[in-house]
Amino acid sequence: MQFYKSYIRPKAIGFDLDDTLYDNRPVLINAEQKLHQFLLHEFPKTQQLSISDWTDIRLAATRLQPKLRHDITLARQVSLAQGLLNSGYTQQQANDGMMKAMNVFLAARNNITLSSSVHDTLALLKKHFRLFVITNGNADINQFGIDHYFEFALQPSQDTSPVIAMKPAKDMFNEAQRRLALSGNDILYIGDHPTSDIKGSGDMGWQNGWINPSCKSFDHYKKPLQLPTVEFQRINDLMQLIT
């Protein structure tokens, strides 16, 4: 572990999910393939649409409705319905098909297996710290069976009042701090993204840890950046914080 700032033993540790506790790329590739297979089988009029085409429809939807950038589940729902409409299905068929397709996608998207070392680390950390999750994604800790490690999990949504924006916006960080009833220095947040995770939590005055398994440089096109409190390569490195 490499420390860049003064470290104070926290009372709570928060985690990002995707690409922090597991490699998300194969999960999403599998989910996209399962979704595409379902659409081709159940809605054959979509056969002219590739996975890339569906992505383009989703990107077009977010350009027309910028709020969708803060809710990837809603963005996918809107784009699925639009793609079915574009393929010649009625509005009712598109709405019903979207719901069925989302169920297929989310089931595959939550087909996640954590390594034994991550399970061991979370189990040990839970004995010493309060644990929670803040994620921009739509993985569900209840569906893939890790909810028992955490007090709560927060995700962005455009269907709530008030609207909950994605990291690095302060919405979820503020809500987490309210639930924890702790000061910023008492919270350590762990994530892989220099902007969403490190800058987002740093703007709150939280301590933070950047997981960097590939030893890449600390850089991102979304400027500005902030140095993390600590950098490490594996989740089980966090066991050193207990001593």
> Angle at Cα 192 formed by Cα 199 and Cα 112, nearest 5°?
140
CATH 3.40.50.1000 range(s) for the chain read 2-22+113-242
Q: Which two tokens stand for residue 75?
A: 């963005």
| Tens-binned pLDDT, residue by residue, of the chain (243 aa) | 899 999 999 999 999 999 999 999 999 999 999 999 999 999 999 999 999 999 999 999 999 988 888 889 999 999 999 999 999 999 999 999 999 999 999 999 999 999 999 999 999 999 999 999 999 999 999 999 999 999 999 999 876 667 889 999 999 999 999 999 999 999 999 999 999 999 999 999 999 999 999 888 776 565 557 899 999 999 999 999 876
- Alpha-carbon distances of 163 from 3, 44, 96, 134, 197, rounded to whole Å: 35, 36, 26, 15, 19
What pLDDT sits at residue 224?
A: 58
Q: Are the beta carbons of 231 and 197 closer than 8 angstroms? A: no
Class of domain 2-22+113-242: alpha beta
In the chain the beta strands, taken as DSSP E runs, fall at: 2-3, 12-15, 130-134, 153-154, 187-191, 207-211, 230-232
- CATH 1.20.120.1600 residue spans of the chain: 26-109
- Partners of 134 in the β-ladder: 154
How far, in Å, CA of 205 to CA of 97, rounded? 44
Question: What class does CATH assign to 26-109?
Answer: mainly alpha
Question: Residues for the chain: how many in total?
Answer: 243
Q: Give the C-alpha separation, 240 to 243, whole Å.
A: 6
DSSP string, 143-211: TTT-GGG-S-EE--BSSSSS-BPPTTSSHHHHHHHHHHT--GGGEEEEES-IIIIIIHHHTTT-EEEEE
Alpha-carbon distance 209 to 46, whole Å? Answer: 44
Residues 73, 141, 174: CA angle, nearest 5 degrees: 75
Active-site residue (options: 16, 18, 71, 140): 16
The Cα 28–Cα 34 span in angstroms is 10
- To the query of whether residue 16 is one of the catalytic residues in this protein, the response is yes
| pTM: predicted TM-score of the whole model, two decimal places | 0.90
Per-residue pLDDT at 83:
96
